[in-house]
Structure 1
Amino acid sequence: MTMLETVAFDIETTGFAVEDQLTVIGFDSEIGSRIFLNTGEEPCPDDLERRINEHLDRPISLSVQETEKDLLYEVTDFVKSALAHRDMKLVAYNGERWNGGFDLPFLRTRLCSHDCDWPFTELPYIDAMDVFEKRFNTTEKTLTGVYGELIGHGLTDLDPFTDSKEAVGAWEKGDFEDLILHNVADIRRTRALMLLAERYCSKSHFKMYSLDPVA
């Protein structure tokens, strides 16, 4: 497992209901982050990527689409070309666990609504939340809380939000810069925690499974 490079994954949405949609999907690896933004057909600054990179020590590459469906097609192309069939594993924090999770169930529903194929074929998956609940002595349960307890607050200044719910209002107002910075902070927290867990936990402490669909 330790030979597989960690690619952290996180989404932002307009809410939690079936009819809500994806606004941002982010991936973080050692060399940088790839971010996909759905503007909802609202205007987006031409220099948005440059403005965001001014805040970062590792660059992002930003892809902007006007609709959720276009975002999903772009993400699928990216995963097939850059992640699949390589020595990589997808990692999320409460993305999908045996008793629930958020990111992958939400993504499945939105893919169904557009009749889009599942993008993560050929990728193994680990949920980082499981190992921190069972193998570390923490009082916090959230991504931000666990990161703060075990690593520190190095990404706090980067994240403009104190609560993920603020991401909904930011998208509705067209505040795409803060929305993306929040997503970048979360994917980088997730990846940092996974690297920390691999330093202190054995292979048997991680539950890895395939994301290949049956059909």
Structure 2
Amino acid sequence: MVLESVAFDIETTGFGVDDAVTVVGFAVPMGVRVFVQTGGRSVTGLETRVRERVDEHVVVSVHESERELLEGVGEFVGRRLCDREVLLLAYNGERWKSGFDLPFLRTRLAQHGLAWPFSDVPYADLMPLISRRFNTTRSDASGDESQSDLVGVYETLCGGEYSGLDPFEASKEAVSAFEAGRFGDVVVHNVADVLRTQALGRLAESYCSKSDFNVKSLTPTITDS
């Protein structure tokens, strides 16, 4: 059985427990689904502006708060991913400082009293797979340097098709852009990252065995069902 890969990535206001999720994006075979919250600020025509900058089909939903964003993500995951033949993919989703995307989501969902949405969803982190199964070392005048971040690995292995799409040189710029209300830039950055993750996932599927993916279940020990 071949699972349909769905890449995902999040943006936040920082790395602390009191920081908030600002964007969650999923790259599915038919395009990209993005959820963005505005912190109560009004915005119109965001999806249209994003589509003008992105060649892929993109659907954007705008939410006034983090809680509403997380509720929207939960509805989407329950409808589109749960009990389906899909494989959720992230790059460094659980490894940066012992984890980023999934641990961050767990904390924010718990603080809002919202249920974990990824029940019955298999998951694989691409970062350890790429580091073990591909050579990402670049040589230059300063010596050999192994690439490990998403952008560097993507540039090395996939050729950088989405490099010109990203409005930021570094992911931390998404924080100041969100604070300034530049929601279009933050969404396009997230789209670029989920497309990079999707491309690396497809590359890994073409060159690695199923056992290399180290697939795990995201179903919690206790569920409501």
TM-score bracket for this pair, using the shorter chain length = over 0.9
Report the counterpart of residue 105 of structure 2 in structure 1.
Answer: 107
Identity of aligned residues (%): 53
- Candidates 179, 196, 199, aligned match of 2:203: 196
Report the counterpart of residue 125 of structure 2 in structure 1.
Answer: 127
Output the CA distance in 2 between the equivalents of 1:79 and 1:204: 25
- Candidates 32, 49, 52, aligned match of 2:50: 52
Q: Does 1:172 align with 2:179?
A: yes
The alignment partner of 1:156 has SS state of coil
Report the counterpart of residue 81 of structure 1 in structure 2.
Answer: 79
Output the CA distance in 2 between the equivalents of 1:168 and 1:94: 19
Structure 2: unaligned runs, 5 residues or longer: 137-145
Deviations 1:40-73 (A, max 9, x none): 00121x2110111112221111111100111111
Deviations 1:67-91 (A, max 9, x none): 0111111110010011111111110
TM (normalized to structure 2)? 0.92
Equivalent position amino acid for 2:55 in 1: D
Cα distance change on mapping 1:98 and 1:54 into 2, 3 Å: closer
Which stretch shows the higher mean deviation, 97-106 or 8-17?
97-106
Equivalent position amino acid for 1:201 in 2: C
- Would you identify which runs of 4 or more consecutive aligned residues in structure 1 move more than 2 Å? none
Cα displacement (A) at 1:98 = 10
Output the CA distance in 1 between the equivalents of 2:212 and 2:83: 25
Cα displacement (A) at 1:162 = 0.6
Output the CA distance in 2 between the equivalents of 1:207 and 1:76: 25
Output the CA distance in 2 between the equivalents of 1:127 and 1:59: 25
The alignment partner of 2:53 has SS state of coil
Q: Does 1:5 align with 2:4?
A: yes
Structure 1: unaligned runs, 5 residues or longer: none
Report the counterpart of residue 90 of structure 1 in structure 2.
Answer: 88
Report the counterpart of residue 144 of structure 1 in structure 2.
Answer: 151
Deviations 1:6-43 (A, max 9, x none): 10010000000110000000000110011000100012
Q: Superposition RMSD on alpha carbons, in Å?
A: 1.2
TM (normalized to structure 1)? 0.96
Deviations 1:125-164 (A, max 9, x none): 0000011110001121000000000111211110000100
